[in-house]
Amino acid sequence: MAFVIPVILCGGSGTRLWPLSRSGFPKQFLVLSGDGSSESLFQQAVKRIHSVAGNQNSLGKTLVVTNEDHRFLVLDQLREMKSIHPALLLEPVGRNTAPALSMAAFCAQQISDNEKERDPILVITPADQTIQNPGAFTRALQDCVEVVEADTQAIVILGITPTAPETGYGYIQRSGAKDQHSAYSVERFVEKPDLKKAQEYLANGSYLWNSGMFVLRASTWLAALKEFRGDIFTAAQQAWLNKTEDSADGVSFIRPGKEEFKAIPSESIDYAVIEKCPGSQFPIKMVELDAGWNDLGAWDAVWQVGQQDQDGNVISGDALLTNTKNSLVHASSRLVSVVGVENLVIVETADAVLVADRSNSQDVKNIVTQLESQGREEKNLHRKVARPWGWYDSVDEGERFKVKRIQVKPGASLSLQMHHHRAEHWIVVKGIAEITNGDRVITLKENQSTYIPQGQTHRLANRGSEPLEIIEVQSGSYLGEDDIVRFEDTYGRS
């Protein structure tokens, strides 16, 4: 029986799906597959990769590589799945996928030593793809595991059966016939081609799209990395040796050394290792996957996988359309009306609206670049912001005031904190609030309120079993989110 450790690469900000996807809440945590599922792309990826278990394979602890800022988003979505037992590898900064996989490989070897498995098989997937035929995916993934179990040094990649001359994907050229495990040898990898080349690849029949999903042993990845990019291996090893660990609610948080991790060269799995493997001592194989795969790299891809009506429109939320064809309309917070257009993407959120030609949807990244250059917060955060204790929604703002709606989860609390530049008025609209206000601790129920003076130490907590909601009115000379001094914090932010 093969011992398999699932690895979910959960970094990235999904800038091409702005304004729905933002760095504070990126696309992998959104529900975008268009099949009626209520699961996010991340949850779907976890569920799919666990399907490799069965009579022939046993699963170890799930490793999720994500950044520090997203750890509570990951935890919240994993809690909804209940049966998943993860360890979170928390990157202090993004350094691309090769360092991320290296952390997972070091961690997997440590876990496998504990479980008397010296060299586990890693099944690696990005967190932001969609598959329309899960059964075909499971069979292909199990074939990959069989290849690696038979050949310790092998690296197996899932190649996607191409359906169009796509220029946004890398390609894999296979050679020879399938072996007994339904795997082909890989002749070479080709970068994203121009349209003419992509048409030639499609007509040739021996080229497939690179899915970014791999199966290999932990030791094989580390040996290949050491062979081809020794600088990344050495720097990653130092970051791992300087790691720290803690846990909460049975979940391990593993943080590589911060300064050592920042020193790792930023590189992708493909560039660092995979593309150098054909013809080397690391045999690279490919199993073909024809399962309705899509990496949802732009809004046009979301339209393609969505449920289209008789006019080819994909509609989400409160939207009314007339004389409109082949368009995607996503309404998040209000009625969106569309009249007499074709081939558009229209995405509405509480604080931003995107209108784009579907064929130019890749260029949304240019808007995100402009937002970043102007220092605008709409690049990073929605109006409604997720926090480990719940969320807040900034419903109004003017000169020297801001109004927020705040929800606190049952049993959760904000940090013990103070503000230098603002005072706050709190009105309870739902639930029961325990409020620390200076030296006093009081309990407020619905329709009761309190005042927090500027500079006063305070905390909001929900000790009950139902969500707590308050309206917060801030007033003062500066109302930025960075005007917070934390003294105590359940979530390690003080």
Residue 494 lies in a domain: no
Q: What is the pLDDT of residue 2?
A: 86
| Residue-range definition of the domain harbouring residue 365 | 301-369
Q: What is the pLDDT of residue 407?
A: 98
> Which run of H or E residues covers position 111?
helix 97-114
- Shared domain check, 193 and 46: yes
Asked whether residue 335 carries a pLDDT value surpassing 90, the answer given is yes
Residue 378 lies in a domain: no
Of 315, 346, 369, the one marking the end of a domain is: 369
Residue recorded with tokens 């350094």: 95
Q: What is the pLDDT of residue 119?
A: 87
- Shared domain check, 64 and 213: yes
Burial profile 267-295: b = 16 or more Cβ within 10 angstroms, e = fewer: bbbbbbbbbbbbeeebbbbbbbbebbbbb
Residue 120 lies in a domain: yes
For the chain, the domain total comes to: 3
Asked whether residue 397 carries a pLDDT value surpassing 90, the answer given is yes
Instruction: Please state, rounded to an integer, the average pLDDT across all residues of the chain.
Output: 92
Asked whether residue 40 carries a pLDDT value surpassing 70, the answer given is yes
Number of residues in the chain: 494
Of 256, 274, 294, the one marking the end of a domain is: 294
- Shared domain check, 151 and 22: yes
Q: What is the pLDDT of residue 196?
A: 93
If you average pLDDT over residues 448-470, what whole number do you get? 97
Least confident of 73-87, 131-145, 250-264: 73-87
Q: What is the pLDDT of residue 110?
A: 87
Residue recorded with tokens 């706050």: 424
If you average pLDDT over residues 176-197, what whole number do you get? 88
Q: What is the pLDDT of residue 251?
A: 84
The CATH number assigned to the domain holding 233 equals: 3.90.550.10
What pLDDT band is residue 35 in, cutting at 50, 70 and 90? low
Least confident of 24-38, 48-62, 180-194, 378-392: 24-38
- Shared domain check, 317 and 401: no
Asked whether residue 259 carries a pLDDT value surpassing 90, the answer given is yes
Pick 312 or 2 by higher pLDDT: 312
What is the DSSP-derived secondary structure letter of residue 22?
A: B
Residue recorded with tokens 């007509």: 203
Residue percentage of the chain with pLDDT more than 90 = 80
Q: What is the pLDDT of residue 423?
A: 97
If you average pLDDT over residues 141-170, what whole number do you get? 92
Asked whether residue 55 carries a pLDDT value surpassing 90, the answer given is no
Residue 106 lies in a domain: yes
Residue 183 lies in a domain: yes
Tokens of 492: 């390690």
- Shared domain check, 290 and 306: no
Q: What is the pLDDT of residues 261-308, one digit of tens each?
A: 999 999 999 999 999 999 899 999 999 999 999 989 899 999 999 999
Residue 493 lies in a domain: no
Asked whether residue 113 carries a pLDDT value surpassing 60, the answer given is no
- Shared domain check, 251 and 193: yes
- Shared domain check, 111 and 167: yes
Residue 376 lies in a domain: no
Task: Say whether the peptide bond before residue 26 is cis (omega within 30 degrees of 0).
Answer: no
- Shared domain check, 311 and 257: no
- Shared domain check, 451 and 341: no
CB-count exposure of residue 240 (10 Å: 0-12, 13-18, 19+): buried
Of 343, 369, 395, the one marking the end of a domain is: 369
If you average pLDDT over residues 223-228, what whole number do you get? 96
d(CA 412, CA 462): 6
Closest CA relative to residue 346, chosen from 85, 39, 19, 14: 19
pTM listed for this prediction: 0.91
Q: What is the pLDDT of residue 33?
A: 66
Cβ contacts of residue 141 below 8 Å, gap of 6+? Answer: 49, 51, 52, 123, 158, 215
d(CA 7, CA 65): 7
